[in-house]
Amino acid sequence: MTGFLVKRFLQALVVLFLVSIIVFVLLHMLPGGPARAILGPKGTPQQITDFNHQQGYDRSLPTQYFMYLKRLFTGDLGDSYKLNSPVFELLKQRLPKTLLLTVLSTVLAVVIAIPLGLLQAVRRGKASDYALTGLAFLLYATPVFFLGLVMIILFAQVLPVLPAEAPQGESVGELLSEFSGLVLPVVTMAFGIVAMFSRYMRSAVLDNLTEDYVRTAMAKGQSNRRIMVRHVLRNALIPLATLLGLYLPTLFSGALVVESMFNYPGMGLLFWNAAQGSDFPVLLGVTLVVGIATVIGSLLTDVLYAVLDPRIRSVA
């Protein structure tokens, strides 16, 4: 396994490096360049020239990139010119909240998707399979914000049982204490991803059911239920770890939309507000952090996969 992990870790490092380059390139694509991005629209030409010289933006690009990296390592992502606060501080505050939303809705989605996919696989070709497959596609085809809107109309307006706005607590603990406010954002986001997980489960279970080892398990005299639980489910679930890693970017994209929709105080909302106000340091800071989070997240899911799958865990 160590060979696999070392290789995977080095790959992640290379990818991280490339992510930083992409963000660096975006920084230079900004109208007016980094100076405009950091000084804001009010900066005078003189200020810009001074800033460029001071910060080394008049030097060669590789040097600039090196300096950029150096700043990154000290946690300097610039200052928001709308919120008067270092971007790093803002992110430190917001990132855990976004992770909370992502984790809760992923767990919910997986919990719904596993039995759903199993049911579809077991009832394959029957009316219920068709109905659920059709439903899954419709759900997949629904933009998350439209789904959220329908939720708000249904559960906050028609049946006013849940608040339409997320809690505004300062910390994760405070958010959790106002749990009812979390319900709609979490459920909306979970519904947005449940379709693809249940599709995966359905096909993974069907694939596994055709495997010879299932026949062996039957030949031992196990009930279908036991075969499902002890053999098929286990083998179908292990690759789910990699799938989660693969879908991390989609999850973060979903979080961006859901947070804007429900005014949830996470990184996505920060990002959205920054986009409205052209707050470039925040935009790029969030982009970089989300990229890093994705790389680390998918590295972790691959490690998890390697731990779960004995074929990788213990190569003879």
Partner 1 sequence: MTSAAPTSTPVTAPGHEEAARATPSLARRTLDVFTGNKLALTGVVLLALLLLFSYVGPLLYDTEQTHTDLSRANLSPGTEGHLLGTTDLGYDMVGRLMVAGQTSLEIGLAAGLLATLFGTVYGAVSGYFGGWVDAALMRITDAALAIPAMFLLVVVAAIITPSKGVLILVIAAVAWLSPARLVRGEALSLRNREYVQAMRMMGGGGARAVFKHIVPNAIGTVIVNCTFQIADAILYVSYLAFLGLSIPPPSADWGSMLSAGITYTQNGYWWLIFPPGIAIVLVVAAFNFIGDGLRDAFEVRLRK
Partner 2 sequence: MTGDAGDGKGTAAEAKDHPDMTEPQLDMTEPQVTDARPGAPGPLLSIEGLHVDIASRDRTVHALDGVSLDLAPGEALGIVGESGCGKTMTALSVLGLLPPGGRVTGGRILFDGEDLATASAPTLQNVRGNTVGMVFQDPLTSLNPTMPIGAQVAEPLLLHRADLGRKEAWARAHDMLRLVGMPQPAERMKAYPHQLSGGMRQRVAIAMALVCEPKLLIADEPTTALDVTTQHQILELIDSLRATLGMAMILVTHDLGVIANRVDRVAVMYAGRVAEQAPVRALFARPRHRYTEALFAALPERAAERGTELHTILGLPPSLTTRPTGCRFAPRCAFATDACREREPDLAADAELGAGADAGLGAEAGAAHRFACFHPVPYGDAPAEEVVTPPPAAATEPGGVLLRLDALTKEFPLPGGPFGRRRGTVSAVGGVSLTVRRGETYGMVGESGCGKTTLGRIVAGLEEPTAGTVRFDGRDLAGLTRAERRAHRRRIQLMFQDSTAAMDPRMRVGEILREPLVIQGVGSRADRERRTAELLDAVGLPRGAVHRYPHEFSGGQRQRLGLARALTLSPDLVVADEPVSALDVSVQAQILNLMRELQREHGLTYLFISHDLAVIRHLADTVGVMYLGKLVESGPAERVYASPLHPYTRGLLDTVNVPDPAAASAADRAPLSGETPSASRPPSGCRFRTRCPLAQEVCATTEPPVTTPSGEGHQVACHFPLTASRLTSVV
CB under 8 Å to 192, separation ≥6 — which residues? 139, 142, 144, 147, 254, 258
Q: Which residues bind partner 1 (CB under 8 A)?
A: 11, 14-15, 18-19, 21-23, 26, 29-31, 130, 133-134, 137-138, 140-146, 149-150, 152-153, 157, 248-250, 252-253, 256-257, 260, 271-272, 275-276, 278, 280, 283-284, 286-287, 290-291, 294-295, 298
Q: Does 92 bind partner 2 (CB under 8 A)?
A: no
Cα distance between residue 172 and residue 163, in whole Å: 18
Query: Which residue lies nearer to partner 2 by CB, 89 or 207?
Result: 207
CB under 8 Å to 59, separation ≥6 — which residues? none
Cα distance between residue 144 and residue 16, in whole Å: 29
Of residues 228-257, which lie at the interface with partner 2 (CB under 8 A)?
A: 231, 234-235, 238
Strands (E), 29-73: none
Q: Which of 22, 131, 154, 218 binds partner 2 (CB under 8 A)?
A: 218
Q: Which of 139, 217, 264, 303 binds partner 2 (CB under 8 A)?
A: 217
Q: Which of 56, 75, 215, 250 binds partner 2 (CB under 8 A)?
A: 215
Q: How far is the CB of 13 from partner 2 (least distance, A)?
A: 11
- Which pair of structure tokens corresponds to residue 159? 């049946």
Neighbour count for residue 78 (Cβ, 10 Å): 18
Amino acid identity for residue 234 in this structure: R
Q: How many helices (H) and strands (E) in the chain?
A: 16, 2
Query: Which residue lies nearer to partner 2 by CB, 162 or 312?
Result: 312
Residues that bind partner 2 (CB under 8 A): 3-4, 6-7, 10, 210-213, 215-224, 226, 231, 234-235, 238, 308-311, 314-316
